[in-house]
Structure 1
Amino acid sequence: MTPKGYTSKILLDVFENLDESYSNFHGRRLTYTANSNHPFILFETMSDGELLPTAGFEFSIVKALAGALNFTTRLIAPADGKWGGPLPNGTVVGMIGVVARREAHFAFCEISVTGIREEVIDFTYPHYIESLTLLSRAPMEKNRTFAAFAPFTPLTWLLIAISLLLIGPIIRAESWLVQVYFPVADNARNTSDALFNLFRSLVKQENLMENESSPQKITILFWYIFCFIISVLYSGMLTATLIKPSYEKPINGLTDLPTSVKEGFTLVVTGDTSMEYMFKEAKTGIYADTWKLFNHKDRSKSFVPYSIDSFDKIVKDKLVVINGQLTSRYHGAKLGSSQFYLARDTFAPQYYGAPVYPGSPFLPIFNKMLSYMTEGGLITKWVENEFRQVSTRNNIIQESGPRAFTVIHLQAAFYVLPIGFVISSIAFAMEVISLYLKSS
């Protein structure tokens, strides 16, 4: 009682404390949805049709939540197998649709937090952050057909050929001049004889030319020096070139994709996901340019239900798969890391959260528990545990150090020899025809 009248005091909270109410579900069963997507979550289909989760760091998160909040779980998969989201016609597909229609309480499966998805569902705090990257086959050795010519550039070979063609006429001209001014000198040389013998200098460091005059000796001396430099450099560079493997240029980022597509690679991404949407909606810039590189004539080639299903086809079918770093690293290591190449550049950071239906009363407690797990390093530990279980039996240990030359390295020599036989046969046939014409 106060001078102004009676007052009352409310002793009970008007609004329910959700943290306290949902800190214990008292054994209630919650349904969640996911696609089988290791290392995030992996499940098996039992004989009765039930889904049994068996591995994945997000499955560890679900188990931790269930244990801490005292609830049991039932796993269902979206009928269309998609990650999904709202479509222009108003329908919501994939895991996002399952949660939005309240067919499941929440979802866990590498689901990126995006604005368009938040129009139909709510997200927990992000529990894992990573960027997208490119996974392709390991760079293969370049074609070694003409490795024997690799030590010099085409221009260098051209200058050597010109020098060789000029030295014969020069020696012939010197020989003629000496004969004109010194008729007693016995050093006449025709052009073909001089060219042949000086070519021997280039390949064997010797020739059969004798009784040269002083001008010729000086010319041949400097020709020897020229041949010595060319021969030594060629031998050293050829050995270094053949011992050290030469590989294709690796695919390290989006800027490398135009060249890769021209070389026969196919760009692959999981269809109907935020990754496809990101490229599709880009109007300008590198993402818009990348969108044009996908195979739009046959969408099944570039937009697949699960991009991880394409990992074992990367080597054979020349694919470049766009996916998160974690998934790419995991499956690349599982199938044999020596066969795959993970791009150095990353792009488009992804924030993974758990979708819950709009207005879910347990969202605050889920956020609190996920914060505890993230800050305590538990999620990082669970991710590392998944990698420890990856089999690396398929990895091939690359040899180091010098290695023996093979036919692949020296095949140019075996091509040059039959080409010479063909040319000599043509020359022989022409001489026979010439003699026949003269005799007739």
Structure 2
Amino acid sequence: MDKALQVAFCACTIWLLLGELHWAGATEDEDSISKDSDSVRGGGKDWPTVYVTTILEDPYVMARGTELEGYCIDLLEKLSETLHFKYKVGVVKDGKYGALSPNGSWSGMIGEVVRKEADLAVAPLTITSVREDAVDFTQPFLHTGIGILLEKESALEEASLFHFLSPFSKETWGGILAAYLISSLCLFLAARMSPCEWDGNEDGRFSFLNCLWFGAGAFTLQGVVPQPKSLSVRIVSAIWWLFSIVLLTAYIAGFSFILESGSEQLSIQTFEDLVKQRELEFGTMEGSSTLLYFKNSKNPIQQMVYESMNKKKETVFAKSYQEAIQRVLDSDYAFIGESISQDLAVARHCNLVRSPEVLGARGFGIATPKGSPWTNKLSVAILKLGESGELDYLRSKWWESSCSHDDHDKWSPLKPHALGGIFLILALGLALGMVVAVIELSKRSRHRAEQEKKSCCSVFTEEMSQRLRMREDKKQETAGKTKP
């Protein structure tokens, strides 16, 4: 009888050990890699136990000895505290996320949830319509999209012949040119109207060419002649000098930053740029939702991306995320994948960069069996964690950057609105200068009108006509002298 009890006890012990090994899901030197909530905080005795399947991917789930840690493990811990359940975590046996085979069966974590081998799948599992048909998903706990991961040296444009123009955008340079011409014209008109400046000589102190040279001299901070005498010309000159100093300071600061940081524009900004270039191969993970997205897309550019990858499917598809990152680092290769995972790679490897364009906004959710009572409870708990800032805290904790020069990539040429204030001051100063010039000419016209017993308006009109028609009269006089 005692022997029978011993045999039964041994059988039960072996059965329990096999069950635990099943949820460990992976072995490393014969040590199980798993996570048990009881070993962390000794969950409530009456709490239900939930079996969770996951996949090893940095920083979501990582193995540290025989324990698991990462973003998803921390998330699972907070969910268990909120909903009062215990959990046992095991790594998916086939190491896959989940894809539908031709015979209608599911692989990976989705397959384990469908077959009810696991109650939950907590991992960077993208919510798609095909997967939604097989399992239920909670509210997303992370939002992502599809981006392009590049190696900086191969993605940056070489400095062009006109790289010195980079501190300002094209629109800003256009505005500066317009401001220069308008200011020179205002200086010319103010000098013409001001009695203190105009001596009746067309080629005198402030001809239009001299005004252009006067404005150009201010940009180089050089002393220029002639020196203005009247108040109106001094106002126009002073406001142009102020504009030039601010502009020159902004240019020097921007150009110094470019030279020191090596900030250059990416040659591949969009997926269209990626398709058109021939220097880099590009691909994604085989059997991933990203590949399925491009396969089903009706967008012509995205169809071209899929066709190009499909033609070289033997060489451009990566079997794992780490393999893809290493290939980007080691060769002329661009990886198309989840933007949030690419952000992690950029934070960990300072010579990587992600292109600005992101396609197909979507989210990572927790998968549960169809009709599971946990789906709604977990969704509500995830929303609460988001509202309390816990999800943002976890994101900053596991995506912390090791690069010290991240701000360099955020530089961009100065747009007109960044210098809008100084352009506004220039416009007001030019307007004030012209008003003062009109007042000066009005005073002279009034004084002359009193002497000649004429109306002030007629004298003012005569003065203006004399100043603006002088060049035409001079041309006629010159033509008359050349006739035989």
TM-score by length of 1: 0.55
After TM superposition, give the deviation of residue 63 of structure 1 in Å.
Answer: 0.4
Matched residue of 1:309: which SS?
helix
Q: What is the CA–CA distance in structure 2 between the aligned matches of 1:92 and 1:134, rounded to whole Å?
A: 28
Pairwise CA RMSD = 3.3
Seq. identity, %: 19
Q: Is the 8 A contact 2:140 2:365 kept in 1?
A: yes
Q: 2:380 aligns with which of 365, 368, 379?
A: 368
Deviates more, 1:134-143 or 1:102-111: 134-143
Q: Is the 8 A contact 1:307 1:321 kept in 2?
A: no
| Correspondence for 2:288 | 273
Is 1:353 aligned to 2:365, yes or no?
yes
Matched residue of 1:328: which SS?
helix
| Correspondence for 1:256 | 273
After TM superposition, give the deviation of residue 344 of structure 1 in Å.
Answer: 1.0
Q: What is the CA–CA distance in structure 1 between the aligned matches of 2:65 and 2:371, rounded to whole Å?
A: 31
Is 1:61 aligned to 2:75, yes or no?
yes
Q: Is the 8 A contact 1:335 1:394 kept in 2?
A: no
Distance verdict in 2 for CA 1:335–1:142, change over 3 Å: closer
Report the AA paired with residue 355 of structure 1.
Answer: A
After TM superposition, give the deviation of residue 105 of structure 1 in Å.
Answer: 0.7
Is 1:129 aligned to 2:143, yes or no?
yes
Q: Is the 8 A contact 1:142 1:246 kept in 2?
A: no
After TM superposition, give the deviation of residue 268 of structure 1 in Å.
Answer: 2.5
Matched residue of 1:373: which SS?
helix
Alignment of 1:41-440 (within 5 A): 41-44=61-64, 46=66, 52-56=67-71, 58-140=72-154, 249-260=266-277, 262-263=278-279, 265-294=280-309, 296-299=311-314, 301-336=315-350, 339-388=351-400, 390-392=401-403
Report the AA paired with residue 297 of structure 2.
Answer: A
Distance verdict in 2 for CA 1:317–1:248, change over 3 Å: farther
Distance verdict in 2 for CA 1:379–1:249, change over 3 Å: closer
Q: What is the CA–CA distance in structure 2 between the aligned matches of 1:143 and 1:369, rounded to whole Å?
A: 49
After TM superposition, give the deviation of residue 45 of structure 1 in Å.
Answer: 5.9
Distance verdict in 2 for CA 1:387–1:247, change over 3 Å: closer
Report the AA paired with residue 255 of structure 1.
Answer: E
| Correspondence for 2:195 | none
Distance verdict in 2 for CA 1:396–1:311, change over 3 Å: farther
After TM superposition, give the deviation of residue 64 of structure 1 in Å.
Answer: 0.6
Distance verdict in 2 for CA 1:249–1:74, change over 3 Å: same
After TM superposition, give the deviation of residue 82 of structure 1 in Å.
Answer: 1.6
Q: Is the 8 A contact 1:134 1:343 kept in 2?
A: yes
Matched residue of 1:304: which SS?
coil
Q: Is the 8 A contact 1:311 1:332 kept in 2?
A: no
Q: What is the CA–CA distance in structure 2 between the aligned matches of 1:394 and 1:314, rounded to whole Å?
A: 20
Distance verdict in 2 for CA 1:90–1:378, change over 3 Å: same
Q: Is the 8 A contact 1:28 1:71 kept in 2?
A: yes
Q: Is the 8 A contact 1:139 1:249 kept in 2?
A: no
Distance verdict in 2 for CA 1:335–1:394, change over 3 Å: farther
Distance verdict in 2 for CA 1:368–1:396, change over 3 Å: closer
Q: What is the CA–CA distance in structure 2 between the aligned matches of 1:61 and 1:143, rounded to whole Å?
A: 44
Distance verdict in 2 for CA 1:393–1:313, change over 3 Å: farther
1:291-334 alpha-carbon deviations (Å, 9 max, x no partner) = 012154443x3222322432133132111111222211111221
Q: What is the CA–CA distance in structure 1 between the aligned matches of 2:45 and 2:83, rounded to whole Å?
A: 6
Q: What is the CA–CA distance in structure 2 between the aligned matches of 1:73 and 1:311, rounded to whole Å?
A: 32
| Correspondence for 1:179 | none
Q: What is the CA–CA distance in structure 2 between the aligned matches of 1:127 and 1:71, rounded to whole Å?
A: 19
Q: What is the CA–CA distance in structure 2 between the aligned matches of 1:374 and 1:143, rounded to whole Å?
A: 43
Is 1:29 aligned to 2:49, yes or no?
yes
Matched residue of 2:393: which SS?
helix
Matched residue of 2:349: which SS?
helix
Report the AA paired with residue 108 of structure 1.
Answer: V
Deviates more, 1:115-124 or 1:126-135: 126-135
Q: What is the CA–CA distance in structure 2 between the aligned matches of 1:28 and 1:246, rounded to whole Å?
A: 55
Q: Is the 8 A contact 1:135 1:320 kept in 2?
A: yes
Q: What is the CA–CA distance in structure 1 between the aligned matches of 2:392 and 2:327, rounded to whole Å?
A: 30
Distance verdict in 2 for CA 1:296–1:35, change over 3 Å: farther
Distance verdict in 2 for CA 1:143–1:35, change over 3 Å: same
Distance verdict in 2 for CA 1:249–1:64, change over 3 Å: closer
Matched residue of 1:294: which SS?
helix
Q: What is the CA–CA distance in structure 2 between the aligned matches of 1:269 and 1:395, rounded to whole Å?
A: 26
Q: How many residues align?
A: 272
Report the AA paired with residue 346 of structure 1.
Answer: V
1:134-168 alpha-carbon deviations (Å, 9 max, x no partner) = 11011457789xx99x99xxxxxxxxxxxxxxxxx
| Correspondence for 2:31 | none
Matched residue of 2:308: which SS?
coil
| Correspondence for 2:173 | none
Q: What is the CA–CA distance in structure 1 between the aligned matches of 2:77 and 2:287, rounded to whole Å?
A: 28
Report the AA paired with residue 368 of structure 1.
Answer: V
1:118-144 alpha-carbon deviations (Å, 9 max, x no partner) = 111111122222222111011457789
Q: What is the CA–CA distance in structure 2 between the aligned matches of 1:248 and 1:379, rounded to whole Å?
A: 33
Q: What is the CA–CA distance in structure 2 between the aligned matches of 1:25 and 1:134, rounded to whole Å?
A: 48
Distance verdict in 2 for CA 1:371–1:395, change over 3 Å: closer
More helix per residue: 2
Q: What is the CA–CA distance in structure 2 between the aligned matches of 1:88 and 1:322, rounded to whole Å?
A: 25
Q: Where does structure 2 lack aligned partners over 5 or more consecutive residues?
A: 1-43, 165-254, 410-484
